[in-house]
Chains A and B, each alone.
Chain A
Amino acid sequence: MSSARRILYFLLPFGVLLLAWAVLSGTGRLNAFILPPPESVFRALGQSLVSGELVRDMASSLQRVGIGFLIALVTAVPLGILLGTSPRARVLADPLLKFLRPIPPIAWIPLAIVWFGIGNGPSYFLTMVASFFPILTNTFSGVEGVSRQHMAVAHCFQASKASILTDIVLPSALPMIISGIRTGFGFAWMAVVAAEMIATRSGLGYLIYTSQDMLRTDRVLVGMLAIGLIGFLVDTVIVMARDRWVHWGNQ
């Protein structure tokens, strides 16, 4: 596809959505509280940008999600490798993990508040829980999927355990680990917004929650736009990094 066409295809769905929104709120049938018109949302967006409030909220949400996500990354990847390489560890851990996995992150909110109080603690915990399982399961399948033939090559050359891990297991699992990271970040990003509605006094979740209290649906939409935008940007950066450095994924 030509790049002009690609840009067109990229923008088209957003244009259609914006148009539908403008038409719908322009009919006058819906009042501005139920569906604020685009111009009032953009006005609210401008105000919160000028006041610096929106940037502050984005930064605190990102900081929370970043920390929780990093904790998940440095625990789930090693655990996934352990489960993928040791049948005993797998048999031991599998039932417990299968039991914990269906519990949605928001179900942890009450306990998280009891354990960590009001503030950043519950958000770190929830984003960690949310991103932990996608990263774990993807790492695990990535490690399990390491080609037997590549392992035979390694054994044939008597590669050390450390070298098998860093030269073979990690690189061949990397494409899967990256999918885990993408899903995991998405889940964590959703979880942080939920956590902020209840356990914090800042962040995009808090912005949405308080705006609802003040009957400011335009500001609710500003918060939602910011959430969507950041989620989109982070995923785009991950995909770009993958395409740049990890070219062996689809083999």
Chain B
Amino acid sequence: MALFLPALVVLIVTTSAPLVYLAWTSLERIDLSMPWLSGFAGAGNYLQMGADPRFWHSLWLTLIYTVSTVVLQVLLGLGLALLVLRIPKGQGILRVAAILPIVLAPVVVGLFWRTLVLAPDVGLVDVVTRALGLPSYNWLGDPKLALLSVIAIHTWQWTPFAFLVMLASLSSLPPDVFEAARIDRASAWQRFRYITLPLIRPAIVIVVIMRTMIALSAFAAIFAATGGGPGTATEILNLYAYRTSFSELNLGYGAALAMVLLAITLAVSFVMFRARRAR
């Protein structure tokens, strides 16, 4: 026990303590722009959210962002893995290349896209679209396009992860089972639908769970690319909490928003793990 005590203390100080402090803060009114109003608020911060359209907007964006990035990662990752499996040589190189985006820090990815890929005039996408005679868009500055852009950035960075997991799962499938299915008159689509998909289902489920939890709490790449803007166009809940606490200095309300995100993340992962075990 004495041996574990230091480790336990470090663990509590680094994980539980900040959480408890966050929970406590969420019950207080701490607005550094109006410090004279500070004091215990009880559930006040939480009740305030019900009538806060910016909160509901950020929740809605979180949902869109999470569902679309996870779906895109699974579809693209699976599609790429199926394609790569068919090429006889060079799979090793592609596997290594796929790791590159994953190991980059999200903030670097966000900046890289903002300055080199999506920037007007000099960005890669703009150069290509103008070369093709298409109109030029302000991908991160236009409120209508900014959400698409941050979804694309997240998908670009994390599809390789889904791809690698799917590729590993697909290449471990028994080839004789597919030969049996060919003899049993299953078409290519039927083999995919009735053999491949059920057999790689565990891999898909794991990717969905892991990527959902990450997407719900995404922050750095969006922060670097748009900072949540323009306006609140890309302000998912995590960014709203951050901006409330550290731009608007309303620490109590920001803490409450962060607590809600934490609760959602825990609830979603709980449900998903339950569903996974049920099968």
Asked if A and B bind, the verdict is no
What is the interface of chain A, defined by CB distance below 8 A to chain B?
Answer: none
What is the interface of chain B, defined by CB distance below 8 A to chain A?
Answer: none
